[in-house]
Amino acid sequence: MKYVCRPKGHAHDCDCGKDSMSVVGDRAVIDLSLSATQPMHYTTLNCAMRKAMRQGCLSIELKGVMGQRYLASTASVPGLHVAVHGTPGNDLGAFLNGPTIEVFGNAQDMTGNTMNSGRIIVHGNAWDVTGLAARGGQILVKGDTGYRVGIHMKEFGESRPTTVIGGTAKDYLGEYVAGGTILVLGLGGGPPVGRSLGAGMHGGRIFVRGEVSPEQLGPGAALLPLNEDDEREVRRLLGDFIKAFGTEVHQDMNGYVKIAPSSSRPFSGYYDKTNV
């Protein structure tokens, strides 16, 4: 049977990361190729990462990641930077609460699932349900994304999630969105967004660079021109994108459309409360 680390709290003593992790100062490097067990199990890798965080590391570099899931889930160390070389598995940075994760490769599904705050920067593609139910923080994807990205994002007070997609997004982008901002740049060519865009959205906003026809909108979403605040936000997000990836993006605001909810109460009037 494959060795699976089942830590039970912080008092736990195990060998995870013994052969693959080196810590110098506040920088940890975990080279998965050095692990005696191949491929390294996700529990081992996550356990080693938690050890590095407990030791006060502010930088964790992962080398040779091969589909290990749930990396840095619920990580809460302020200022922590996690660099992922290779291909992380699903649920990267789930429930993330502060740190920055930078992926030098593609991310899989459910990246940034229910994240609270922090940043996830993907120098490649990120697939389905990226940023599910995010309540804050930022996700930057250089390439394309899959279906149902940004679903059910919400905002509260100062906490406002933003997602920037350099390439394209597929159907149901921003479904149920209750807050936050999604920006799609469509840089690689092709239609920037698919069908059922913003289906059931009742808050937040989606900006798309390129053409969006009314037929692509889901129920509850409306196509609008950008106002001054919107333009300022798009420019700010473009700045974040350019800073993260060094890519040049056309800054002409005429090329953008805004998709926003037609109502914050999409279902008022839908129900009959008569006492029958």
| Closer of 61 and 91 to another protein (Cβ) | 91
Q: Give the nearer residue to another protein in terms of CB position, either 70 or 256.
A: 70
Does 275 bind another protein (CB under 8 A)? Our answer is yes
The 121-140 contact track toward another protein, x by CB under 8 A, reads: --------x--xx-x-----
Candidate list 1, 2, 8, 189; residue touching another protein; CB under 8 A: 8
Residue written as token pair 């840095």: 72
Task: Please tell me the distance from the alpha carbon of residue 185 to that of residue 15, in angstroms, as a whole number.
Answer: 45
Q: What is the CA radius of gyration of the chain?
A: 20
CB 88 within 8 A of CB 65: yes
| CA gap 43, 71 in Å, rounded | 9
Q: How far is CA 253 from CA 7, 186, 198, in A?
A: 51, 14, 21
159 binds another protein (CB under 8 A): yes
140 sits in which H/E element: strand 138-141
Closer to another protein at the Cβ: 35 or 245?
A: 35
Single-letter code of the amino acid located at 182: I
Quick one: which of 109, 144, 230, 233 contacts another protein (CB under 8 A)?
109
Cα–Cα distance for residue pair 191/230, rounded to 1 Å: 22
Measured between alpha carbons, how far is 210 from 181 in angstroms, rounded to an integer?
A: 17
Cα gap 219→20, rounded to integer Å = 51
Tell me the β-bridge partners of 81. 59, 100
Q: Find the binding residues for another protein in span 42-81 (CB under 8 A).
A: 42-43, 46, 50, 69-70, 73-74, 76
Shortest distance (Å) from residue 187 CB to another protein: 26
Per-residue x/- mask for another protein, residues 20 to 39, rule CB under 8 A?
A: --------------------
Site for another protein in 179-238 (CB under 8 A): 179, 200, 202-203
| Closer of 146 and 192 to another protein (Cβ) | 146
For residue 111, state whether it binds another protein (rule: CB under 8 A).
no
- By CB under 8 A, tell whether 245 contacts another protein: no
Residue 156 makes contact with another protein by CB under 8 A = yes
Question: 24, 88, 12: which is closest to 50 by C-alpha?
Answer: 12
Least CB distance to another protein at residue 174 (A) = 12
The answer to whether 67 touches 91, Cβ cutoff 8 Å, is no
Which residue ranges make up the site for another protein (CB under 8 A)? 6-10, 12, 42-43, 46, 50, 69-70, 73-74, 76, 90-91, 94-95, 97, 109-110, 113-114, 116, 129, 132-133, 135, 148, 151-152, 154-156, 159, 175-176, 178-179, 200, 202-203, 264-276
